[in-house]
Amino acid sequence: MSNFGLLLDGFAVALTTHHILIMVAGVLLGLVVGVLPGLGAPNGVSLLLPLTFTMDPVSAIILLTSMYWGALFGGSTTSILFNIPGEPSSVATTFDGYPMARQGQAVRALTLAFSSAGIGALTGVIVITLLSGWVANFALRFGAAEYFAVYFMAFASFIGMSSGSPFKTLVSMMLGFACSAIGADTISGESRLTFEFDALIGGISFLVAVIGLFGLGELIMTMEENLEFHGVKAKLSLREIFKTVAEVPRYWATVLRSALIGCWMGITPGGPTAASFMSYAIGRRFAKNGNRFGKGEPEGIVAPETADHSAGSCALLPMLALGIPGSATAAVMMGGLMIWGLAPGPMLFTTRPDFVWGLIASMYLGNIIAVILVLATVPMFAYILRAPFRIVGPMITVVCMIGAYTVASHTFDIWLALLFGVAGYVFKKLDYPLAPFVLAMVLGDKAEDAFRQAMLTSNGSASIFWSNGLVGTMMALGIILLFLPLISKLLSKAGIGFRRKALPPQSEVGSV
Amino acid sequence: MEISRRTSEIATSVITALLGAIVCYGALENGITWDDSGPRPGYFPFYVGCLIILGSAVIGGQALLRPAESKPPFLDAERARSVVLFFLPIVAFAAISAWLGLYIGMAIYIFYAMYVPGKLKLATSIAAALAVAVINFVVFEKLFMVPLLKGPVLNYFGIY
């Protein structure tokens, strides 16, 4: 049977009252989890997992994935309204979403984020529908070298496309790598950079760093500038929503590019966080108003949101088809699959087609439900913006401190978050970009592992990164991205030189 | 008290360079060479530390060579005051939380923030402090079953 026929069967499974109610409940729970920083999607899904043991696997996976969609959307809400990313993958949404909300266009910013996120997610699901069979064969060729090449591309795009000093990007990113290296080494088990401090042996969670750098750092910044939120309509005007939705097709190029980046990063395990950062960086490079990015540019919201959600849905593809989770949340869900007695991997498509295709069909419906529900709950969050910041600020501080503690139930993490808060404040004032730091912290371990494993297979020869067409192409793309500022400078010089040389013959032709 | 942009740039680059040096030192303890099983654990962090020092040196050097001050100062007295007034209570919040638990810490912190800088009425501030503590207790302990730090006082009343 073709994929399309199987999908229709899947809709028959998903389109029951029971399953739709489960989707609504899952999305609502996810929104709560996504809005609270520190209670992220992986955390929320693991908390909900024990409740699903007695459920039928199809209903259970629909509940968990719906919660995931809700968390992804909820994370964007707080990013835009409070500049606190509820999820690491919505960090990039704060760059332009928050400035736009501060200019009194909170509803526009939210609607832009949700509609582009919806498009991104649906693109991702369509990709899953079309590719699920084929991708298994392709991704089976991925070794450590290929994984490293994917990470390398993500990092290189950041240095190559930074708008400020590339050295500040470099320092920020490398500090992130250093923080991710703290704790037990994943390959040898030796403890690194802990300097005999017991609290550091478990490593530093990137969530604590994000809460400090983005949450507390931004709070101090806001307090210093004595800013107050104003002019934000608490009422959600339907007219403004529709006006904004009608605005989205104008950014079709950004949407298409970001969706492609997202799908690629989701299938190859770059994950939604890397995808949204990369899409934002590339979007800034290619957009007409790229220099206005960071000041509330619509495309600066569309680019990371589309990529985030298309990567989030595509991350389920390798989990289902190969048993390799594409994101932290997918890893938790995969644990669930095994508890329910299902073996993730290519065989799942033949043994339980009702499960696989029911899940895929529910992803179409779940995302549509999520867009509607998140829009419906916006007035509640926008209302909070009317309170003066000297009242809201301490409330956000409390949420940040709780968030830092809930990551691992360590009191030490509270102090760590304060430290990161001061660092975030200073870095922000001196124009050090924070995003590369977080990206390096999230992916640092995985990139290093992939690098070392690749080196182990090749006995220390770097030629493994050029050993086949796939990895060679990815590495070459990464290097081009890394030196993009230099290359574009050289190209424009060459272009001018070429024109000068080309001019005389033209004038000669003219004179003849 | 006024801190110029140039001073803060140089100071920050010195601090990041020191952090880079610490990373390099830590990596050396793990061994940065290759052995039979491939690169030792310090191999990767050592070069990360080197890159931090390199980047910091360039940033610090650029700030040193930059001629006159063109950008606004990093921090002036009035702004420094509002930063300190906001940040010190958070440090106190963390210290109280580490000692008496998060719920008592957040109640005291919210009461202070609402009453003193927030300029709310005494009764409103107390109500806000209690509401924040109770709502968080219900959400985290009951709904999500995520226990927060309790501390000796709540333990004394039989809440663990």
Whether residue B94 and residue A401 make contact (CB cut-off 8 A), yes or no, is yes
Considering only alpha carbons, which residue of chain A is nearest residue B107? A398
**Cβ distance of A220 and B83 shorter than 8 Å:** yes
pLDDT value at position A160?
73
Tell me the residues of chain B between 120 and 159 that have a Cβ less than 8 Å away from chain A. Answer: 120, 132, 136, 140, 144-149
Q: Does A426 touch chain B (CB under 8 A)?
A: yes
pLDDT score recorded for residue B88: 94
Surface of A (34-93) touching B: CB under 8 A: 39, 47
* B94: nearest Cα among A434, A420, A87, A202: A420
Give tens-digit pLDDT for A253-311: 888 899 998 888 877 656 677 788 888 888 888 877 777 787 888 888 889 999 998 98
List the domain boundaries for chain B: 5-65, 77-156
Closest of A215, A266, A180 to residue A85, by C-alpha: A215
In total, the C-beta contacts within 8 angstroms joining chain A to chain B are 166
Task: Write out chain B residues lying below 8 Å of A393, CB-based.
Answer: 86, 113
Interface of B with A in 57-96 (CB under 8 A): 58-59, 62, 74-75, 79, 82-83, 86-87, 90-91, 93-94
- Band (pLDDT 50/70/90 cuts) for residue B95 is very high
A191 phi, psi to nearest 5 deg: -90, 135
Q: Which residues of B touch A216 (CB under 8 A)?
A: 90
Residue A192 pairs in a beta bridge with A183
- The residue in chain A having the minimum alpha-carbon distance to the alpha carbon of residue B82 is A224
The minimum CA-CA distance between B92 and chain A, rounded to whole Å, is: 11
Mutate to test the interface with A, among B51, B53, B135 (most CBs of A within 10 A): B51
Asked if the Cβ–Cβ distance from B45 to A430 is below 8 Å, we say no
Chain A nearest C-alpha distance from B74 (Å): 7
Provide the pLDDT for residue A161. 64
Residue A485, pLDDT score: 72
- Residues B141-153 have pLDDT tens digits of 887 677 888 888 8
Q: What is the mean pLDDT of residues A326-353?
A: 73
Sign of CA dihedral A347, A351, A353, A359: negative
A196 touches chain B (CB under 8 A): no
A482 or A123: whose pLDDT is higher? A123
pLDDT tens digit sequence for A38-63: 456 766 676 677 667 778 888 888 99
Residue A490 has pLDDT above 60, yes or no: yes
Indicate the pLDDT class of residue B89, thresholds 50, 70 and 90: very high
The answer to whether the Cβ–Cβ distance between A224 and B23 falls below 8 Å is no
Which residues 6+ apart lie within 8 Å of A143 measured at CB? A454, A457, A471
Q: Which residue of chain B is at minimal alpha-carbon distance from A440?
A: B48
Contact B94 A177 (CB under 8 A): no
Question: A451: distance to nearest CA of chain B, Å?
Answer: 9
For residue B70, how many other CB atoms are within 10 A of its CB? 8
Q: Which two tokens stand for residue A43?
A: 């955390």
Question: A244 vs chain B: nearest CA distance in angstroms?
Answer: 34
pLDDT digits (tens, 9 = 90+) for A173-187: 999 999 989 988 877
- A25-28 long-range contacts (CB < 8 A, ≥24 apart) are A25/A63, A25/A66, A26/A62, A26/A63, A26/A64, A26/A65, A26/A66, A26/A67, A26/A69, A26/A70, A26/A366, A27/A66, A27/A67, A27/A69, A27/A70, A27/A73, A27/A366, A27/A369, A27/A370, A27/A373, A27/A374, A28/A70, A28/A373
Cα A392 from Cα A380, distance rounded (Å): 14
Q: If you search the block for the tokens 């669930």, which residue do you land on? A: A336
pLDDT tens across A82-128, in order?
777 766 678 888 888 888 887 878 888 888 888 899 899 999 988 88
Residue of chain A whose alpha carbon sits nearest to that of B80:
A224
> What average pLDDT is seen over chain B?
88
**Is the distance from CB of A84 to CB of A400 less than 8 angstroms?**
yes
